[in-house]
Amino acid sequence: MQKRRFGLILLELFAILLLALFLFPFLMVVMNAAKPQAEIILTPLSLPQNWINLWHNIIEILTRRNIDYFKSFFNSVVITTSSLLAIGVFSAMAAWVLVRTKTKYSFWIFMLFLAGMVIPFQVVMLPLVRLLQLLYNATGIPFKDTYYGVVLAYIGFGAPLSIFLFHGFIKSIPTDIEEAAIIDGCTKAQVFFKIVLPILKPIFVTLLVLNGMWIWNDYLLPVLVIGLGGSTKTLPLAVANLAGFYDKQWGLILTSVLMAALPVLILFFFAQKHIIKGMTSGAIK
């Protein structure tokens, strides 16, 4: 017993050490975001002499034209939330009719969505950019560098996984409730929005987390559809833009990194359970 407890203490120490190692990069960011350029070059590993510099750097980031922090943050929020809602509701609708309609059409459409899951973005990205331009030439509606263009693209790319997860979940819901509602005089659309959608809440949350992490942090799709200097640029694009312009201005780059990561980290502290559960249960299915 004594030996076992000693072992546990050792493990505990080891875990603390590992945790420190994992959090070290975060510490580096915070520490160096609070230093002027000269101090970073001389002593990147020590604590900053004066924390007030962090404030100066933050102000600098907030007012810089090429990062446009407030605008980028707003863009990221708009794009992420509207994509999330659209993907969630539309995929749930599609999955529901695909499960409840037992024809060969619904089977093959579902198979098509599944096939879409294995297509990596790299294969579609070049023709996609071309297609957006062609669509603009043909219809005069700009899809590049607009909110709806990005959101539509995210619906297309997010639909396969979301429909797959919804499909699995809906299959396990008994049809009795829906039939009862039909008898009580609901139309089919009402059945979905009033009865099925509330039942889907757990899987909906999972998908919010899974898609949310993807869309908020995504770089490749925005850089193609919006462009680094676009007017609807998201936070990752803004950071890349700043780092590309002011090469080696580490104080500012790290401050912008901190400010790009902070919203997600804050959200994580409040909704830790949901986020971890959402990301892992989504993967296992």
Smallest distance from other proteins to CB 141, Å: 13
Minimum CB distance to other proteins smaller for 52 or for 131:
131
Which residue from 55, 85, 111, 127 is in contact with other proteins, where contact means CB under 8 A? 127
Which residue from 155, 173, 197, 199 is in contact with other proteins, where contact means CB under 8 A? 155
Which residue from 62, 85, 111, 123 is in contact with other proteins, where contact means CB under 8 A? 123
**Gap between the Cα atoms of 88 and 218, Å rounded:** 18
Judged by CB under 8 A, the stretch of 51-59, 61-69, 171-179, 276-284 that binds other proteins is 276-284
**Gap between the Cα atoms of 142 and 148, Å rounded:** 10
Minimum CB distance to other proteins smaller for 181 or for 260:
260
Q: In angstroms, how far apart are the furthest CA atoms of the chain?
A: 78
Minimum CB distance to other proteins smaller for 23 or for 59:
23
Cβ(16)–Cβ(8) below 8 Å: no
SS3 89: helix
Q: Give me 150's structure tokens.
A: 């990005």
Cβ(253)–Cβ(243) below 8 Å: yes
Number of residues that bind other proteins (CB under 8 A): 91
Smallest distance from other proteins to CB 79, Å: 14
Q: Does 101 bind other proteins (CB under 8 A)?
A: yes
Cβ(251)–Cβ(37) below 8 Å: yes
CA distances, 233 to each of 162, 164, 216, 223 (Å):
25, 30, 12, 8
Smallest distance from other proteins to CB 226, Å: 14
Cβ(196)–Cβ(178) below 8 Å: yes
Cβ(75)–Cβ(233) below 8 Å: yes
Minimum CB distance to other proteins smaller for 103 or for 172:
103
Smallest distance from other proteins to CB 204, Å: 15
By CB under 8 A, what part of segment 178-237 binds other proteins? 187-189, 192, 213, 216-220, 236
Which residue from 51, 107, 121, 245 is in contact with other proteins, where contact means CB under 8 A? 121
Which residue from 129, 141, 177, 180 is in contact with other proteins, where contact means CB under 8 A? 129
Give the dihedral sign, CA 157/113/170/183: positive
